[in-house]
Amino acid sequence: MRSGIDITWAREVPAEPVTVGDVTVTPRARALVVRLPQAGFVWNRPVAVTVERAGAVRRVPVVDITRVLQLGLLGLGLAIGVAIPRRSDPKRR
Amino acid sequence: MTDSKGTPLDEAVSLIDKTREQTAAMVEKIFAAAQPGAVYGQPIASETYTVITAAEVTSGGGFGMGIGLGPPSRPGGTAAATADAAQPDDRQTGGGGGGGGGGGSMGRPVAVIAIGPDGVTVRPVVDVTKVALAGLTAWATMLAVLRARRRARRR
């Protein structure tokens, strides 16, 4: 039985490489692991793929567009929600 | 606990030990989602293209248990006095226990990696429903702030 809380923000971990012809693609993932005595939580997400071709290695990031748009909209909502009351505050005029 | 007598307390402790072992094994299964293989799917080849799916994986869970033992009960059904309960005797101890747990996991597609004659491309997967919900929430929040501001001005 574990005791205490253990939080690990893992570094990029490579998955099984895939070779097609002369191209080798290695997907990479990053995980947040929270370990509690009788509980656990894992958040694992893709980060990038490394493409190896003829000796040259190229890194292609995997962008989570859905998350970017969600956070962008949230930020926009918060920014406008803060800006409007400040602008229309008569004390600031 | 290896007491062969098998008193209720020993039985309960033994049961708790067993449950703890089982829950520890279950919690370890949650951490299987931390492997990179959980995020990337098996490559699928179709003619000139090979496709690998990439998804965000979230999983979590927890378990808990408890047990309580009371003083020996008298034949009439009432609990014995504290002084009696403190003395060791062969009368049966009353008690109860319980446990429970829960967990879940979620996966969301993030991108598709395509390996083809034109090279390797990472194509994002957009969840339109989630984006639309986020947009509606932001819009509703802004509207609520504006209305509250207008009402405050009128007063």
Which residues does chain A have within 8 Å of residue B34's beta carbon, measured at their own beta carbons?
10, 31, 33, 42, 44
- Tens-place pLDDT, residues B67-114: 777 776 666 555 444 444 445 555 566 777 778 888 899 999 999 999
Whether residue B1 contacts residue B8, with contact meaning beta carbons closer than 8 Å, is answered with: no
A41 Cβ under 8 Å from any chain B Cβ? yes
- Work out the number of other CB atoms within 10 angstroms of the CB of residue B2: 5
Please give the residue of chain A at the shortest CA–CA distance from B150.
A88
What whole-number distance in Å separates Cα of residue B155 and Cα of residue B144? 17
* Number of A–B residue contacts, CB under 8 Å: 160
Cα-Cα-Cα-Cα dihedral sign, residues B32, B34, B40, B43? negative
Looking at residues B131-154, what average pLDDT do you find?
86
Highest mean pLDDT: which of A46-55, B75-84, B145-154?
A46-55
- Work out the number of other CB atoms within 10 angstroms of the CB of residue B85: 16
The model's pTM: 0.72
Per-residue pLDDT, B100: 83
- Within 8 A by CB and 6+ apart from A72, the residues are none
